[in-house]
Amino acid sequence: MRKMLYLIVLLPAFAVAQNSTSYWSLGLAVGTLNYSGEITQEGDIGTWINEMRPDVGIQIRRHLNYRTAFGIEAGWGKVYAADANRGNQERDYIVDTELAQVNMFFELNFKKYGKYFQRNANTPFVKVGIGGLFYTPFLNTNASYPQEYELFPGSYATYNFQLGFGWKWRISYHSSLALDLHYNATGSSYLEGFNLRDAANPTDAFYGLRLTYSYAFFE
């Protein structure tokens, strides 16, 4: 009876390990980031493009089969926004924050894709992740912050929740390119480096476009 219970417990892990469609892949990503918070309540497409900042990262995935994968990613980027871009030069608040994030994520392909499915040269996918966010705001020293604002210079850490949607294309037997749009909700209300005292400050977010090159190591 005990041997039977051991077999039931270990069978799913054994099945995953022996899955002929499973493999590892390594990815390198470049993209853009934009801030979403107090300063960005107004603006147009030109402002959005002007305030884009770089984002780079590395990813490692374990593809369990032709549809699903788990992975870990690490990245660095910046977010930027300015009152001056929105006609509020008198106040002149600026968001200029460096970000570093480490996330665990799950990825789902809508079509069969991977080791044996070369006939499917592309597929849409969704991605969800959660992890840690480390950030350093740089305040505009030329701006005057009223006493009702609390300032947060220095470095901080919070959680990071990511949701993404994109499309990937096979460019060779081992290589793929993916383009995705992702939105990151954070646990911080002072990603920009300041908060209103004694007030309910909403949490901040950021989002971006990312292009990822991945190389698959087929077993």
Specify the pTM: 0.86
Chain centroid to CA 184: 6
Higher pLDDT, 3 or 133: 133
The C-alpha atoms of residue 204 and residue 41 are separated, in whole angstroms, by 12
216 contacts 24 by C-beta, under 8 angstroms:
yes
Q: Which of 2-6, 70-74, 118-122, 171-175 has the highest mean pLDDT?
A: 70-74
214: nearest Cα among 21, 70, 28: 28
The C-alpha atoms of residue 50 and residue 71 are separated, in whole angstroms, by 32
The mean per-residue pLDDT over the stretch 157-170 comes to 97
pLDDT in tens, 89-117: 888 889 999 999 999 999 999 999 988 87
Per-chain mean pLDDT for the chain = 89
The mean per-residue pLDDT over the stretch 66-71 comes to 96
Q: Tell me the residue type at 120.
A: N
128: nearest Cα among 176, 166, 77, 170: 166
pLDDT category, 136, cuts 50, 70, 90? Answer: very high
Higher pLDDT, 135 or 15: 135
Question: Which of 17-26, 32-41, 93-102 shows the lowest mean pLDDT across its residues?
Answer: 17-26
60: nearest Cα among 69, 73, 41: 73
The C-alpha atoms of residue 114 and residue 108 are separated, in whole angstroms, by 12
The mean per-residue pLDDT over the stretch 130-156 comes to 93
55 contacts 75 by C-beta, under 8 angstroms:
yes
pLDDT category, 13, cuts 50, 70, 90? Answer: very low
User: What pLDDT does 52 receive?
Assistant: 96
pLDDT category, 5, cuts 50, 70, 90? Answer: very low
pLDDT in tens, 179-204: 999 999 999 999 999 999 988 899 99
Contacts of 77 (CB under 8 A, 6+ apart): 31, 33, 53, 54, 55, 56, 57, 98, 99, 208
pLDDT category, 8, cuts 50, 70, 90? Answer: very low
